[in-house]
Amino acid sequence: MLEYLQIVFGFQSLVTIFIGTVAGVAIGGMPGLTATMAVGLLVPFTYTMDPTAGLMLLGGIYCGAMYGGSIPAILLNTPGTPAAVATAIEGYPMSRQGRGGLALKVSVIASFCGGTFSAFVLLLFAPFLARQALAFGPAETFLLALMGLAGIVSIADENTSLIKTLIAGVLGMVIAIIGTDDMSGSLRYTMGYVELVDGINFMPALIGLFSMIQMLELAGQRHHKIDTTALKRRQKSEPLPAGIARPIALGAGTGTVIGILPGEGATIAAFISYNISKRMSKMKELFGNGNPEGIAAAEAGNNGCVGGSLVPTITLGIPGNSVAAALMGAFIIHGMIPGPDLFTDYAAHTYPFILSLFVANAVFLVVGLVFAPYLARIALVPPALMVPVVSAFAVLGSYALNGSVFDVYLMIAFALGGLVLKKLGYSLEALILGLILGPIAEGGFTQGMIIGHGSPLVFFESTIAKVMWGLIALLLLPPLHAYWKHVHKPSRLSAGQ
Amino acid sequence: MSRKWADRALLALFIGMAVLLYLSTASYPGIARTTSARYVRFLAVFIGALSALQLGYSLLKDRSAGRLSLTDHLPRFLGLLAALAAFAVLFERFGFFLVAGVFIPLVAWLLGYRRKSVILLVTLGVLLFVWLVFVQLLNVNLPGPTF
């Protein structure tokens, strides 16, 4: 471990982590730009970098962006990222009361605690979980992908129905079958395009769905003037309120656990942490009017998601959320396939990457405590300037990995198609997870069928398979139950009338 | 087009795709017939059934009348799309720097930004950043003329 610490604390590594984290805070602070967008956009560029440095840069961006979203949420009522919406509910009223300084302090300390705790969980459990993956055969690998699909079900929210979320996930898996069939070596659904022989490239799809789509939306939006009165108001300096450690601990734990579940993102983690904290608080009446406990729980929750989401990503190859999916792309382009090998053959890259997350958390703690009020002005960058710059990087990023203009067209097609799907209520997170899980599921399924001589019973035989079926059921039941209740609510009402 | 009908058209498209996908597995050769073909059929049945379920639900229950709107400002949206397509077409022939040097100020202007000095500074800043970081530091091979 000492040698890995030496790598992390080397001058070049520290500079890389610092640049990544500060850039992440700035990106997170710009409404419309998200951690997924930034990480997805930069993954192709890390291809020519030293793998450890590239991963540290992306890890820094992930940590920084998750925190950065809270700054404009608190001072301008404009969440930099969707994960900071819960923070705005409590943070902005505090700023209007002249207590923005305290809100920013609580936010950065809670983010630091949540992020550090989750990185610790990642460091502790990831190698253990990865070792368990050694016992996985093709049948278990297929079930693992099904577990990821079960996670897709829980992505469904008020904007995306459960069935549509599942359709989007399966559509991603269908898109993933384009290319060469591993079993027969024949081409499938390539429509004569040589560029599709190896299948749909994951990175242009990710950049199209999570970066370019946001730019298309921003370009077509009518922009509202941001209220900067709280930014101009003098904010008083206050000590941390007593009892703030409780919501922080609650948020950190909740966020980490939610992050580990496939498909669950930082936004859900922040809202669940916020709601639990509200339910358990002795000052419930202050929620909605500027309660620092709400900020603490939400920020510890969304930053707790960072390390948590990386646990299934680097151990099992099942991304915890869309940012983790983009980071998984970075591992893959450097030839590091998620699983036990990352902790043996590639330990010299993986452990410094995990340790760099602790440094990234410390960097944004210092940056946040000193510069947060000034960083809020980033949110005032006009979208008219942001859109062309990010679009140019999206084109560059799509092209850079394979040097193929076809990938740029693919990125534009995914952005346009993704926008239509999004407007019709289909989950893009589910689509990208399906795209990632597709090849894993197909590999496990086809090999399992060969081992089982064509009998599907092979997927139920081993003890691990049985446990995994249980876990899949556990993942599926709560959202299905909630959906059932939601669908039958109006009919019960009308029956009552 | 109304959102409801656009959704129904898309679901019908998914059902059609599922049928074609299922039928296509009949031509899978050799071992793929008992392995990959089954997987593809599983996906086809799954997406087809889910789409049919959603379509049925929409036909029976959906009484909404909202329109499908991809954007609030169509000229800007289409302008960005056109500029992006032009960027992709010209990118390989004329190189990143030349095309981005036109694309960034053009799109900023198109989206309503009028401060020429800021646009110029941002454009030059981005080009310098790409040249320093991606060309000099990361050795990314960009198409077109090199500097």
Q: How high is the mean pLDDT of chain B?
A: 88
Q: Enumerate the residues of chain A whose CB falls inside 8 A of the CB of residue B24.
A: 189
Given pLDDT bands bounded at 50, 70 and 90, which one contains residue A123? very high
- Residue B88 is nearest to which of A49, A405, A445, comparing CB atoms? A405
Number of Cβ atoms within 10 Å of the Cβ of A419: 22
pLDDT tens figures, B59-71? 988 777 788 888 8
Size of interface A-B (CB pairs under 8 A): 181
Nearest to A84 by CA among A158, A137, A29, A15: A29
Q: Which residues of B touch A491 (CB under 8 A)?
A: none
Determine whether the interchain pair B31/A184 forms a contact, defined as Cβ–Cβ distance below 8 Å: yes
Q: How far is B40 from chain A (nearest CA, A)?
A: 8
Q: Do A45 and B53 touch (CB under 8 A)?
A: no
Helical axes A322-333 vs A51-68, angle rounded to 10°: 170
Report the residue of A424, A426, A447, A449 to disrupt the B interface, i.e. the one with the largest count of B CBs within 10 Å. Answer: A424
Task: Give how far B112 is from chain A: nearest CA, Å.
Answer: 7
C-alpha span between A319 and A142 (Å, rounded): 15
Question: Above 60 in pLDDT, residue B43?
Answer: yes
Q: B-chain residues within 8 Å CB-CB of A212?
A: 84
Tell me, what's the pLDDT at A493?
Answer: 45
For B68, nearest residue in chain A (alpha carbons): A423
Q: Which residues contact A348 (CB under 8 A, 6 or more apart)?
A: A3, A4, A7, A52
Task: Name the pLDDT band for B12 (thresholds 50, 70, 90).
Answer: very high
pLDDT at A78 over 90: no
Q: Given this model, what pLDDT does residue B57 score?
A: 87
For residue B125, give the chain A residue with the closest CA: A389
CA distance B38 to chain A (A): 8
- pLDDT of amino acid A159: 55
Nearest to B35 among A183, A221, A400 (CB): A183
Q: pLDDT: is A364 or A40 the higher one?
A: A364
Test mutation, A446, A453, A455, A494, chain B, max B CBs within 10 A: A446
The pLDDT of A474-493, averaged and rounded, is 69
Residue corresponding to tokens 């007593």: A242
**pLDDT confidence of residue A226:** 60
Most confident of A194-203, B42-51, B131-140: B42-51
**pLDDT over threshold 80, residue A146:** yes
pLDDT of residue A492: 47
List chain B residues with CB under 8 Å of A215: 80
- The closest of A77, A2, A10 to A359, measured between CA atoms, is A10
CA–CA gap between residue A33 and residue A391 (Å, rounded): 12
Taking the CA of residue B146 and the nearest CA in chain A, the distance in Å comes to 15
pLDDT in tens, A1-21: 788 899 999 999 999 999 999
B130: closest CA among A396, A48, A27, A330?
Answer: A396
Looking at mean pLDDT, say which of A175-184, A337-346, A366-375 comes out highest: A175-184
Residue A235 binned pLDDT confidence (cut-offs 50, 70, 90): low
Position B7 pLDDT exceeds 90: yes
A93-99 — which CB contacts under 8 Å span 24+ positions? A93/A288, A93/A289, A93/A290, A94/A290, A94/A292, A94/A295, A95/A230, A95/A231, A95/A233, A95/A235, A96/A229, A96/A230, A96/A233, A96/A290, A97/A290, A98/A233, A98/A234, A98/A235, A98/A236, A99/A235, A99/A236, A99/A238, A99/A290
Average pLDDT over residues A62-91: 84
Residue B147 scores a pLDDT above 70: no
pTM: 0.81
- Interface contact A388-B106, CB threshold 8 A: yes
Q: What is the pLDDT of residues A343-381, one digit of tens each?
A: 888 889 999 999 999 999 999 999 998 887 777 777 677
Confidence of residue A494 (pLDDT cuts 50, 70, 90): very low
ipTM of the complex: 0.92
- What is residue A110's predicted lDDT score, i.e. its pLDDT? 95
Structure tokens at B27: 């031509």
